[in-house]
Structure 1
Amino acid sequence: MVTGVFDLTALAIAPNAGIVTAHAVDNSKALHRFPYSDSSEGSLERKEQPAYHPGAIILNGPELMTLKAHQWANSTHYEEILNSVVAMTGDGVNDSPSLKAADVGFSMGSGSEIAKEPPDMVLLDTFSSIIIAVQYGRVVSDNLKKVISYLLPGGSFSEFWPVMAFDAFGLPQALSSFLMIIICCFTDCAAATMLSYEKPEANILTRRPRDIKKDHLVTGSSSYSRTRQGIPLSQLWFSLGKIHDGIDPDYYLDETNEASSVYFVNLVVLQWFNFIATRARRLSIFQHPPLFNNETQNWYLFPAIVFSLAMAIFGLYIPPLQPILGTTGVSVEQRFIPFAFGAFQLLFDGGRNFGVRSWPARLLARMGW
């Protein structure tokens, strides 16, 4: 971090915004160990010396007072070489080259006109609003990940395999095309929209900044954690899906419609639990409750569940529509089976979050998204 103010002042503010997360912070004396240096004309040249990557470094003092405009830009490029995201704040004429070279530039509304041209954002009040901007930027990224993670198991994974098993192996299609449309356009769509209203988690500013080259919206760990919570389709279909020769076609159609309806009910109910589990990426449901906490509650959660329940009733329990849609009612015991699996899903996800929080450097952390 390059600052024009006193380094202790900057160091007191930066951790609150998540800019400095390392325990040890170096100063300008560590620059001689850095494998790059700036030439007289502003180009970066590689030095033949061992690479040193400090966790955090703050630069200020008399050496910054003598920097020229191209050297200010080079000081920004130091962090770019380390594959980091560079944020620059400034309000003077000499700050404009670095504001333009940085990934994110912040200028003050009371600064010079030249300094307000190159940056990405002009602050109208104080620099403390950067903390709020960082917080809500992470909230937007988190909520996008939550929406994708919510849609992966139900709207994508659980709908893909019935069609794949039908086309590739000739097995009965476990979920009818009409019920897939109900899930995609109504039940999952409403809940996914409500996830975009999630409030920030308590530890959102204490996390390490994400790696822009590795931490994408969809990662291998998020796909694995969302799609492996449940019984593999092969164990269900290849063990229970055998059809005997000489079966009556009408009986076969009735049983297929009932199986499709049961599959649909299970998917809708399990998505309710998936909805609750997806609300928190690292915290438990007790640390990030959906109710009775103004900082974490999301009242839109329950209208979305009621709406999906209403759509399930519409598709399954209106007698005139059942022969047209190829659906049937579901017995009581088949309705409550997914609640047991959903409770297990919440326990599994809570244990995963606890493991990721407790051992962030272990193998279990790879299941964290």
Structure 2
Amino acid sequence: MIKDFVSFVQDVYSTDEFIPLHVPRFEGNEKEYVTNTIESTFVSSVGAYVDQFEDMIADISQTASGVAMVNGTSALQVALRLAGVKDGDEVLTQALTFVATANAIRYNGADPVFIDVDRDTMGLSPDAVQEFLKEYGEIREDGCYNKQTGKRIAACVPMHTFGFPVHLDELLTVCDNWNIPVVEDAAESLGSLYNGKPTGSFGDFGVFSFNGNKIVTAGGGGAIVTDDVEAGQHAKHLTTTAKKPHDYEYYHDELGYNYRMPNLNAALICAQLEQLDDYIENKRALAKDYSDFFGRKGIKFRNEQADTRANYWLMCVELEDRKERDDFLEKTNERGIMTRPIWQLMYRLPMYEDCLRDEQQNAEYLEDRIVNIPSSVRVE
């Protein structure tokens, strides 16, 4: 099967050279917009493309407010602060995620509590969240608390793994019943839909990443989106060092952050976002080809769930066990086809090994079996 897979991927990307996991494509107005920015001299955090990007990301996510930021991790950190997460709180999230999800929680002085995922979405399980809260949760006047630790459960952060939406309706119902705000880590799911509505638009806040390996990129970059216009304005204030507007005085009225997206990066992402729909259609066609190929081989290719439309940011297969996974990884990488395992679970990392967690049966099952395969947009 490995030989056939290598040949298939080489045919897909029309090369027998090294094939990476995911690379950006620059086929639109990127050079024009970046050149415009350089010529304008507004290359830092003030400029027309920053404003344009914020309008575009709000429109794409169907939210009222978009705030440009330097990267997705800082966006999640600030979104959690705006949601009310404070030092000593707890935040429910998944252990099967990129480390930035847990890091952003810790940056606010809070502790992640790792709840299991669903096998079908690879994202936070509403049933597992409900079971945890039934055992440990307690609603008080000022929110939900963990009866065991005495700490406030200040937020819930689902992550849409590889662009596949979690079961949002069920999760939002659970969190609403327990008075817990939801902050969507939609870093990987720009353009994905759940029941026809974009991910990032369901929670109190949504967060996106525009790192170089994402479906569209600003080189770096991130964004917060929300339907709360006042909160969006506060996010903008916080991330521009909390400086009060004034013709010449420097006055900062609260602890802020220098998390501004430069106009240069905004120019790049504006051009990329113009091509987002085409990129998603291209990747969805690739996913269909992969699904057909692996179906003939009797291997499970991960497809979207009913009532969702995935962006297929990183495509993946589910292998039989860890032994088969490791053999696939070794042999494909030896042949110049980049493949990667899913992340190590967060509680295996030294800084999170003492965090509360449930049994993690599904997360550990997926950790042993999921492999990402080349997923770049194809040249047409």
Fold match, TM over 0.5? no
* Larger Rg computed on CA atoms: 1
Report the structure, 1 or 2, having the larger strand content: 2
The structure whose RCO (Cα within 8 Å, separation 6+) is larger is 2
TM-score norm. by structure 2 comes to: 0.21
Report the structure, 1 or 2, having the larger helix content: 1
